[in-house]
Amino acid sequence: MMIIYIMSSIIIILSILVMTIASILSKKSINDREKSSPFECGFDPKSSARLPFSLRFFLIAVIFLIFDVEIALLLPIIIIIHWSNILTWTIVSMFFLLILLVGLFHEWNQGALEWAK
């Protein structure tokens, strides 16, 4: 049991040491205007490098990613039906789908799914 404490303390000390050294070495000492400006063939930039981004598109993309991950979580539920109790499987599946539907209706009520008004 003592060997576990010793090994865990060595690992913690070593990780703190590595994080400290990385933090010290990664500091930039000089902030130069030329080095921090965007590079465009040696000339000063004509306009801002930041382009306007549609917030609606971002929300739709985030909602898509959330539901994509949820589909990936639903697929193992279908496969595991053979090895689990049918009542437990049904309760867990219905609870998970209920959470998904509540989230979908919330997004719908907030207007996040409407692309143009």
In the predicted model, is pLDDT for residue 44 greater than 80? no
> Which amino acid is located at 35 in the chain?
K
pLDDT in tens, 53-94: 777 788 788 888 888 888 888 888 888 888 888 898 889 889
Q: How many residues does the chain have?
A: 117
pTM: 0.48
**How buried is 93 (Cβ within 10 angstroms: 0-12 exposed, 13-18 middle, 19+ buried)?**
middle
In the predicted model, is pLDDT for residue 11 greater than 90? yes
Mean pLDDT, residues 3-9 taken together: 91
- Taking the C-alpha atoms of residue 27 and residue 18, their distance in angstroms, rounded to an integer, is 15
The Cβ of residue 73 has, within 10 Å, a number of other Cβ atoms equal to 10
Confidence of residue 7 (pLDDT cuts 50, 70, 90): very high
CA dihedral (40, 43, 47, 50) positive or negative? positive
14-23, 45-54, 102-111 — which one is most confidently predicted on average? Answer: 14-23
Contact 112, 63 (CB under 8 A): yes
Question: What phi and psi values does residue 113 have, to the nearest 5 degrees?
Answer: -90, -5
- 84's tokens: 């689990």
